[in-house]
Amino acid sequence: MKPKLLTTLQSYSWSLFAADAFAGVTVAMVALPLSLAIAIASGAEPAAGLVTAIVAGFLISLLGGSRVQIGGPTGAFIVVVYGVIAHYGFDGLVLATLMAGGILLLAGVLRAGNLIRFIPEAVVNGFTIGIAIIIATSQLKDLFGLEIANLPADFLHKLPALWAGRETLNLSALGLGVVTIALIVLFRRLAPKWPGLIVAVGLTSAAAALFVLPVETITSRFGALPDHLPMPALPDISLARLQELLPSALIIAFLAGVESLLSAMVADRMIEGRHRPNAELIAQGAANIASSLFGGLPATGAIARTATNVKAGGKTPVAGLVHALAILLMMLLAGPLVGALALPALAGLLILTAWNMSEPRKWRGHTKMPLEDRLLLILTLVLTVVADLAVAIGVGVALGLALRLRRRAAAPSDWTPPER
């Protein structure tokens, strides 16, 4: 359970630092708008996303079991975080995240990191696609610039509310969001090593300010971003609150553990390395505890940001440390510029993120799975969208393990981690 940082520092050099520094700054440019967008979509203040990327991202690289893992807030948490804040307030989310961190620490100490191989792939794909659908629909209000006072959180009630507000369509907002999506796709194809996310969002936000377009920005809706980290503080803790928030904490811990280990597995394949799963769980636990104490969101390993780190030349966990410190510097020195980012541009970014989460390249492969696995994927997807993520995961994992027992005489299949 030794952190990878200690291993890599034994043969560290200035050339490695140069590569890590460049990769870390590049990833920070990608993580900045994503962290803001994820926090807003989760029903939290934008600053909470930055705090999470800084505090949790630093600790995940400092203590983690992967050479190139980048941690922070991810889209997988949006559904859970939004629900917890809606029912228990932001203080309830802080306590649930604190509890989840403790659960992850315990899982790492008990060496539960290798248990990920028992989670059915169909379940992972099902709830991931379901979460992607929920994220995309949650961003339609800002993408179209609709004026809806209270958008319902429930998917089945959200769609009628969006349709009812169609007459308030803001073409400027829609155009800004669509151009942002197009620019991100263009940068990814023509200059994949560039931090295309921040460039695209920055360009469209600058155009909105230059032409005085009637669109909301982070500052106009939420006020000025802070220019410092908050002081750490404990949430209100009581036995009753611990009991009512335990289910949410278990879901947060499950998602953080699964997502971080999936990300580490993808990274291993990219660098031909081997991560330490139990060290990774301990790092996730420490990061979520620290994030909660600073008023941040749940955190985990971010697959897209980790892949960006590898492609930008990151070699060791130092790149992740640089990434967190770079975001901190931007918070300290460039708060007004960050606050000027347009919300339709961030909505377009998240919709594209949701599309990538659903992994459309794998859809054809899903249709070729055994019938039982296809039904399991669809069931998990539907339950995630129309019921509850906890129900979807519980039912999906239970049925998936039952199918595994039924097939125990057959040779195990080649499990493929998602590349989102």
Domain segments of the chain: what residues?
Answer: 14-356+364-406
Tokens of 134: 């929920």
- Would you say residue 353 has pLDDT above 50? yes
Q: What is the pLDDT of residue 416?
A: 54
DSSP tag of 237: -
The whole model's pTM is what? 0.88
DSSP tag of 360: G
List b or e across 87-110, with b for residues whose CB sees 16 or more CB atoms inside 10 angstroms: ebebebbbbbbbbbbbbbbebbee
Average predicted confidence (pLDDT) for the chain: 90
Q: How confident is the model at residue 418 (pLDDT cuts 50, 70, 90)?
A: low
For residues 391 and 6, give the distance between their C-alpha atoms in angstroms, rounded to a whole number.
40
- Would you say residue 330 has pLDDT above 80? yes
171-175, 186-190, 193-197, 410-414: which has the minimum mean pLDDT? Answer: 410-414
Please give the backbone phi and psi of residue 154, each rounded to the nearest 5 degrees, phi first: -70, 130
pLDDT single digits (tens) 273-290: 889 999 999 999 999 999
What average pLDDT does range 293-298 have in this prediction? 97
For the chain, the residue count is 420
51-65, 171-185, 365-379: which has the minimum mean pLDDT? Answer: 365-379
Contact 176, 347 (CB under 8 A): no
Contact 221, 336 (CB under 8 A): no
Q: What is the pLDDT of residue 415?
A: 47
For residues 20 and 235, give the distance between their C-alpha atoms in angstroms, rounded to a whole number.
36
What does 60-115 look like in DSSP terms, one character per residue? HHHH-S-SS--EE--GGGHHHHHHHHHHHHHHHHHHHHHHHHHHHHHHHHTT-GGG
DSSP tag of 52: I
Contact 73, 298 (CB under 8 A): yes
- Would you say residue 127 has pLDDT above 90? no
pLDDT single digits (tens) 45-61: 999 999 999 999 999 99
For residues 171 and 293, give the distance between their C-alpha atoms in angstroms, rounded to a whole number.
41
- Would you say residue 414 has pLDDT above 50? no
Q: How confident is the model at residue 214 (pLDDT cuts 50, 70, 90)?
A: very high
With both helix axes pointing from N to C terminus, report the angle between 14-41 and 303-311 in degrees, rounded to the nearest 10.
150
pLDDT single digits (tens) 222-242: 999 999 999 999 999 999 999
What average pLDDT does range 328-332 have in this prediction? 95
Helix (H, G, I), strand (E, B) or coil at 321: helix
Picking from 309, 255, 324, the residue whose alpha carbon sits closest to that of residue 57 is: 324
What average pLDDT does range 184-196 have in this prediction? 86
Q: How confident is the model at residue 13 (pLDDT cuts 50, 70, 90)?
A: very high
DSSP tag of 217: B
